[in-house]
Structure 1
Amino acid sequence: MEAVSRRSFLKITSIAAGSSLMLGFDMFNTAEAAGLDAVFAPNAYVTIDSKGLITLMAPNPEIGQGIKTALPMILAEELNVKWDSVYVEMAPLDPKYGSQTAGGSGAIRSRFKPIREAGATARVMLTTAAAQQWNVKEEECHAEDGYIIHKPSGKKASYGELVAKAAALPVPTNVTLKDPKDFKIIGTRIHNVDNQKIITGQPLYGIDTRREGMLFALVSRPPAFGKVYKSFDATETLKVTGVKNVVAAGGVVAVLATSTWAAKKGRDVLKVTWDDASPLENSLDHETAFTKMVNERTANPSRNDGDIDKALASGGKILEATYSVPNLSHANMEPINFFADVKDGKAELYGPTQVPSAMRSSVARALNIAPENVTIGMPRQGGGFGRKLRPDNGVEAALISQAAKAPVQLMWTREDDIQGDYYRPASMTKYKAVISSDNKLIGWHANSVVLTSGGALMPRGFPAAAIPNFRLDAQNLKSNIPTGPWRGPTANAAAFGDESFLDEIAVEMKKDPVALRLELLDLAKNQPVGQAGYDIDKFKSAIDLVVEMSKWGKNPQKNVYQGFAAYYSFSTYVAQVAEVTMVGNVPRVSKVYCAVNCGRVVNLSGAENQVQGAIVDGLSHALFSKITFDKGAAVQTNFHTYKFLKMADAPLDVVVQFVKTDEPPTGLGEPGLPPIAPAVANAIFAATGKRVRKMPFDLTTKSKDNA
């Protein structure tokens, strides 16, 4: 059993007068538990009422990562109740919950221990209450299925019956968590709690919001990045049946109507004049600039171990390759939307956001009101992937509501979404490797250029610390194209170049690609050069497992070619083997094996879904997706031009296994994505002898980039 001090976890939210026991717990901090203020300063809470109803307030937004299913599993495990006896509510935005962000694959990672502690404390207090009520020894009592049972006498009392007495008890300074070997719920398969509601179309999402007097708003935005609003003429728009108002707010023009269709028809005939504020860019110019900049070093490299110039001049074999990735849209399944009602100096908002606290402060600044006068409600969300880390949709809705003096439901069409995103930044990275005369990898240089913001290199990532002469140069190309986080930021670009280039190096060295990585990991562990930002043993555990799963190098099937890649992000280590078969002269991804070390798995069903979804998402973007710009505007408009994987293109099987470990959970929503592109690229090389160095992959034609 794991002993846990109160000083590291528990605070009392409040003590209800005989009706419910409310236990709060510190989500991120390890605040002292002494004194009245600490006791009544919680960040989140669990309630058990006199009827035995257990309610867990889920502090983080549910964006498809499964927290509404997994968090109650954690609580139920420590309370010794059935999973479905815990009722889950999405918590409103409130400082008492601490950070309520859904991003960085952090929800389960950050909540696992605090929720266990809260459940264990509730169980201990209920047990103490029962023992006192029966005048028996506490150690003779145990919790089981929502009851406290006195084993010698057979007496039992429900949690609800004990709430009033438990609420009056002092909080224990130490509680003992359940021994993981006794887990009955954590690590099992439980289907998504909202499955039935989702498949039957019940209201769950922000887009389902309906309020009395609400108008639907569609917005006319600048037709290109670099243009700004000047004026509008709504003469024809106001003639459209259902259109009620047209307002300019926040640099856009909104058409408000009684339905989304009426708003769209009104917007179609709206005349807006736009001014040029900055140059209108195009992707060809970006690529030209990238090509020049990757040959120019920076004054301050992001990492510089040893002497790369000396290695390059040593007479060893120099291998060079350039890898590039395009801009990408998030294209969430649920289009961007937000409800806002601004009146009397207050704002009520309800809709999809990954950062409710940042949304509140951004709305408050935009409206020039105090943050405490802004309320944010959080429905279930139809995807996030980093797009909803930006507060623009809520701010836009609030400004429109303020200008129109009406509650509004802001709606974005798919075209609005794809052409008005904060895109995954395009990047290009030029690699150089030096292989010594005795066949050792002695030098690595990567020079990366990224559009606008973000990165495509990880200074402390593998194979850093394993190569004696190692230099990374990172640059940004200034641009007015908005960019932002996209599923697995930095890693999604870095993995493609790093892991593909390592495969090239292995071929040049005539070494097995897996063996080369294991050799480098051993060097990083036993003879490190600088600091490694990765856990070598966890890395190797994932690699070893996928080798076993896929029968790496031992697959006897004809016309099946394997490619390997491994990467880490958000403290999770993922190794993948992609299998490619040739259909005519075209390679097709037929199967993917994936091994994951993400610490303890809470919900096996949800964990598998997260990883499989990440693989399919990553494969889709590797094969088909890109955003290009012409005269400042995104060329792609909808799914006919921003292409996604179709069922016919998907692997026939994606096999996922998890490394068994007692370590606490780490991130899972994103780490499965970065390795798939290089794994497939390396499999394509095994099948065709041609390197794929540019995404999206061109599998049907021969090009200078992919050849």
Structure 2
Amino acid sequence: MSSLSKPNRRNFMKLAATASGGLFLGFSWTSSVASALEVVSDTAIAAGKIEFNSFMALSPDGIVTIFSPNPELGQNIKTSFPMVVAEELDADWTKVKVVQAPLDTKKFERQLTGGSGAVPHSWERLRKAGATARHMLMEAAAKRWKVPASSLTTENGMVVHAASGRKLSYGELATEASKLPVPTEVKLKDPKDFKLIGTAVRNVDNREMITGKPLYGIDFYKEGMLFAMIQRPKAFGMKLKSVDATAAKAMPGIVDVVTFKNNVAVVGKSTWQVNKARKALKIAYEKEAALESSSDHDRIFKELLNSPDATVRRKDGDVDGAFKKAAKVIKSEYQCPFLPHSPMEPMNFFAHVRPDGVELAGPTQTPEMARGQVAKLLNIDPEKITLELTRLGGGFGRRLSADYVLEAAELSSIIKQPVKVIWTREDDTTGGTYRPAVRYRFEAALDAKGNMIGYKLRGVGMNTGNPTREDNFPSGAVDNLLIDSVEHKSPITTGPWRAPITNFLAYAEQAFLDEVAHAAGKDPVQFRLELLDKAKKSPVGEVKYDIDRMKGVIDLAVEKSGWGKKKGVAQGFSVYFSHRSYVAQVGEVEVKNGAPVVTRVYAACDCGMVINLSGANQQVRGGVVDGMGHAMYGKLSFKDGAPEQDNFGAYRLIRMKEVPEVDVHFVNNGIDPTGLGEPALPPTGGAVANAIFKATGKRLRNQPFAEQAELKTV
């Protein structure tokens, strides 16, 4: 067996170059300035000797090949990036090839996946790369035909001279174009002329995924490598005391048992052998920190919600005065549990630490950070470390951390052999890093007319830093507002989980606003629109969200869902701004056999211009299903520092038969793309909870919902 086809410079040249020449453009991902581009000779590239930033290659057979630098974990970036280049190039999409780039900090910028920021960052850079190549191809055709370049057009990989009816393919012009100077300025297309962007394009890796080709880190194999599984402390707050590995070492296929830090690694020739031997280890642990249980967290939350030592995040007006003169005060608390990320592919990584350098390969959302941490761990120059990116079998924020990468690197440095560390599903569920548990206390003050004149929010989080988003709606729309927070330092490791903080905060805020609207005797949608009108006409402090964009998705969701006009169905509303985008949702619930059933969710999204309609629909539907499933069922509880759920038999995920219909609609406002990997998840919990309240009269203030009411889905 051999390793995955490695996308290094030489292999890329073999893929992109042909003996008869071609146009090769090195374009900078670190700058959107066209003058940063350079033409390099096909001969030199074929020899693999040209230093470059990132490439768009056009071969004489008309094949366009580009590197995709960002890790692909299902957010469709590996398809969307080349679509942008191909649009401006007027390429024939059937002749576009995409190659996953390795980590290269000299040639790429922001080579990571997280925060829904890849497309907003690279949008203009990608467009200029395609437009520059198109300009040069037209210049080459103009020279050959001896006509003005202004008389030419392009379409589907061809340069066209309409006056004479002549056409030349990009492949036919590639070599001539490569000899022309790179323009310092190029004209980008008017979005109204887009032909590819905004259409539905299938994922470029579909065939490989369906046919089981080696794409993922779990597939990676290199001749001579060993396999390892690591036993970590089974409870947060425990440390390693002693190890008896006698039985494990005597088992077939086992090469070594290594202890480092709090880890015991079993190294062998197959995953089956090392997993079996790991179970034969006799390990003793001792207490290092408090062994927290979920019952402790309930007590801690109650104490800290009343703590005088909160950090003020935002304060507008006279909050105490507003509550003293209020005609009505509404007060509620919302709480969520810890959650694992549960990606389809458990953590894994390959490392080979040699005297002359380090080779890393596997699935990571943050390759540069991972390389940097390995360099620090091993005390070597980062430039001596190569990192090959595989496709990620999910991440949801878990692969922003580099702990599993460091495990592989440190273990390889100890055994002085190439090794691949693999986590089991139980390792993944019990080994961190989790969505933090949080509790919020909301208070609202209403005047006699039902207007909200005061608003208070306190967030208490477990290792969250700041569990609030103090500048999000309704901040700016309430004259008197106080948002503060208190932090609890827990030994349970936490980290970003899809749509960090807002994944639960949005539900809590939107469910509470529904409570306030109900107490004010107002329609929930109209109540929010009144607040937005207030923020626009007489803002309080700085308003850091776009009021018109938020109102736009509200209007679209109301229209598409038939808000308030349907009989026999209860509707719940939610709207949220996160990661530069706006999403409004309407959940629908029907009572069947005495139980509420979530039947449909409408999602109206403003993420700017949609690049790939297929990928965008998948992102929104996936976000809704993820948000609903975890709100209804997800819970990781602890007993004396140890997770009580270790696999899907005990940790509940949403099932296929429980997924409702999801209707997705996009606002077409023509602005540059904003984020979409995360924004559809936060509003879902609120839309579903508010619909359940409408159907049953029961407020769901804690997640998972299934523990509070008899809930069914279809």
1:688 aligns with 696
Tell whether the 8 Å contact from 2:35 to 2:183 is kept in structure 1 after alignment.
Answer: no
Quick one: distance in 1 between partners of 2:430 and 2:465? 20
Residue 51 of structure 1 aligns to a residue whose secondary structure is coil
Shift of 1:363: 0.9
Quick one: distance in 2 between partners of 1:34 and 1:329? 43
Residue 409 of structure 2 aligns to a residue whose secondary structure is helix
Tell whether the 8 Å contact from 2:34 to 2:184 is kept in structure 1 after alignment.
Answer: no
Out of 247, 251, 267, the residue aligned to residue 258 of structure 2 is 247
- Structure 1 residues 373-382 or 192-201, which shifts more? 192-201
1:663 aligns with 671
Shift of 1:20: 3.8
- Structure 1 residues 297-306 or 482-491, which shifts more? 297-306
Out of 203, 209, 215, the residue aligned to residue 192 of structure 1 is 203
2:90 aligns with 80
Paired residues, number: 685
Equivalent AA in structure 2 for residue 674 of structure 1:
P
2:3 aligns with none
Quick one: distance in 2 between partners of 1:323 and 1:35? 53
2:633 aligns with 624
Query: 1:399–1:460: structure 2 CA closer, same or farther, 3 Å change rule?
Result: same
Out of 165, 173, 176, the residue aligned to residue 176 of structure 2 is 165
Quick one: distance in 2 between partners of 1:235 and 1:274? 18
1:22 aligns with 24
- The runs of 5 or more residues in structure 2 that have no matched partner are 1-12, 40-49
Cα-to-partner distance string for 1:88-123 (whole Å, 9 max, x where unaligned): 000110021111010111222222221111100100
Tell whether the 8 Å contact from 1:28 to 1:98 is kept in structure 2 after alignment.
Answer: yes
Out of 562, 574, 593, the residue aligned to residue 584 of structure 1 is 593
Out of 631, 642, 659, the residue aligned to residue 651 of structure 2 is 642
Quick one: distance in 1 between partners of 2:194 and 2:358? 45
Tell whether the 8 Å contact from 2:151 to 2:161 is kept in structure 1 after alignment.
Answer: yes
1:219 aligns with 230
2:421 aligns with 410
Out of 494, 510, 517, the residue aligned to residue 499 of structure 1 is 510
Quick one: distance in 1 between partners of 2:308 and 2:666? 41
Out of 483, 486, 496, the residue aligned to residue 475 of structure 1 is 486
1:311-322 matches, cutoff 5 A: 311-322=322-333
Quick one: distance in 2 between partners of 1:491 and 1:454? 13
Residue 70 of structure 2 aligns to a residue whose secondary structure is coil
Cα-to-partner distance string for 1:370-412 (whole Å, 9 max, x where unaligned): 1011111111111111000001111111111111221111110
Quick one: distance in 2 between partners of 1:333 and 1:274? 30
Shift of 1:167: 2.2
Please say if 1:174 is aligned against 2:185.
yes
Shift of 1:22: 3.1
Shift of 1:155: 3.3
Residue 312 of structure 2 aligns to a residue whose secondary structure is coil
Quick one: distance in 2 between partners of 1:552 and 1:585? 23
1:410-489 matches, cutoff 5 A: 410-489=421-500
Residue 449 of structure 1 aligns to a residue whose secondary structure is strand
1:155 aligns with 166
2:610 aligns with 601
Quick one: distance in 2 between partners of 1:42 and 1:177? 24
1:253-292 matches, cutoff 5 A: 253-292=264-303
Please say if 1:561 is aligned against 2:570.
yes
Shift of 1:297: 4.5
Cα-to-partner distance string for 1:566-622 (whole Å, 9 max, x where unaligned): 001111100000011112232111111110001111111110011000100111100
1:614 aligns with 623
The alignment-based identity, stated in percent, is 47
Query: 1:430–1:297: structure 2 CA closer, same or farther, 3 Å change rule?
Result: farther
Query: 1:503–1:697: structure 2 CA closer, same or farther, 3 Å change rule?
Result: same
Query: 1:642–1:192: structure 2 CA closer, same or farther, 3 Å change rule?
Result: same
Shift of 1:272: 2.3
Query: 1:298–1:25: structure 2 CA closer, same or farther, 3 Å change rule?
Result: farther
Query: 1:611–1:702: structure 2 CA closer, same or farther, 3 Å change rule?
Result: closer
Query: 1:223–1:699: structure 2 CA closer, same or farther, 3 Å change rule?
Result: closer
1:512 aligns with 523
Residue 590 of structure 1 aligns to a residue whose secondary structure is strand
Quick one: distance in 2 between partners of 1:321 and 1:205? 45
Residue 516 of structure 2 aligns to a residue whose secondary structure is helix
Quick one: distance in 1 between partners of 2:363 and 2:217? 6
Tell whether the 8 Å contact from 1:71 to 1:115 is kept in structure 2 after alignment.
Answer: yes
- Structure 1 residues 311-320 or 156-165, which shifts more? 156-165
Tell whether the 8 Å contact from 1:16 to 1:167 is kept in structure 2 after alignment.
Answer: no
Shift of 1:228: 2.0
Shift of 1:158: 2.6
Tell whether the 8 Å contact from 1:43 to 1:98 is kept in structure 2 after alignment.
Answer: no
Query: 1:42–1:309: structure 2 CA closer, same or farther, 3 Å change rule?
Result: farther
Quick one: distance in 1 between partners of 2:247 and 2:701? 50
Quick one: distance in 1 between partners of 2:239 and 2:18? 55
Tell whether the 8 Å contact from 1:600 to 1:661 is kept in structure 2 after alignment.
Answer: yes
Shift of 1:687: 0.8
Quick one: distance in 2 between partners of 1:702 and 1:654? 22
- Structure 1 residues 245-254 or 684-693, which shifts more? 245-254
Shift of 1:152: 2.7
Equivalent AA in structure 1 for residue 626 of structure 2:
D
- Structure 1 residues 294-303 or 376-385, which shifts more? 294-303
Equivalent AA in structure 2 for residue 631 of structure 1:
D
Quick one: distance in 2 between partners of 1:212 and 1:415? 28
Out of 356, 359, 363, the residue aligned to residue 367 of structure 2 is 356
TM (norm. structure 2) is 0.93
Shift of 1:565: 0.4
Quick one: distance in 2 between partners of 1:175 and 1:300? 50
Tell whether the 8 Å contact from 2:335 to 2:703 is kept in structure 1 after alignment.
Answer: yes
Shift of 1:130: 1.6
Quick one: distance in 2 between partners of 1:85 and 1:110? 26
Tell whether the 8 Å contact from 2:329 to 2:444 is kept in structure 1 after alignment.
Answer: yes
Please say if 1:68 is aligned against 2:88.
no
1:7 aligns with none
Equivalent AA in structure 2 for residue 663 of structure 1:
I
Quick one: distance in 2 between partners of 1:296 and 1:513? 32
Shift of 1:202: 1.7
Please say if 1:127 is aligned against 2:138.
yes
- Structure 1 residues 44-53 or 305-314, which shifts more? 44-53
Quick one: distance in 2 between partners of 1:80 and 1:671? 31
2:338 aligns with 327
Equivalent AA in structure 2 for residue 600 of structure 1:
M
Equivalent AA in structure 2 for residue 27 of structure 1:
W
Shift of 1:699: 5.8
Please say if 1:146 is aligned against 2:173.
no
Please say if 1:381 is aligned against 2:381.
no
Cα-to-partner distance string for 1:173-213 (whole Å, 9 max, x where unaligned): 22111121111111111122222222222211010011111
Quick one: distance in 2 between partners of 1:541 and 1:645? 31
Tell whether the 8 Å contact from 1:588 to 1:649 is kept in structure 2 after alignment.
Answer: no
Cα-to-partner distance string for 1:318-360 (whole Å, 9 max, x where unaligned): 1100011111100100111111111124111110100000011
Quick one: distance in 2 between partners of 1:501 and 1:42? 53
Shift of 1:45: 2.5
Quick one: distance in 1 between partners of 2:161 and 2:709? 74
Equivalent AA in structure 2 for residue 51 of structure 1:
D
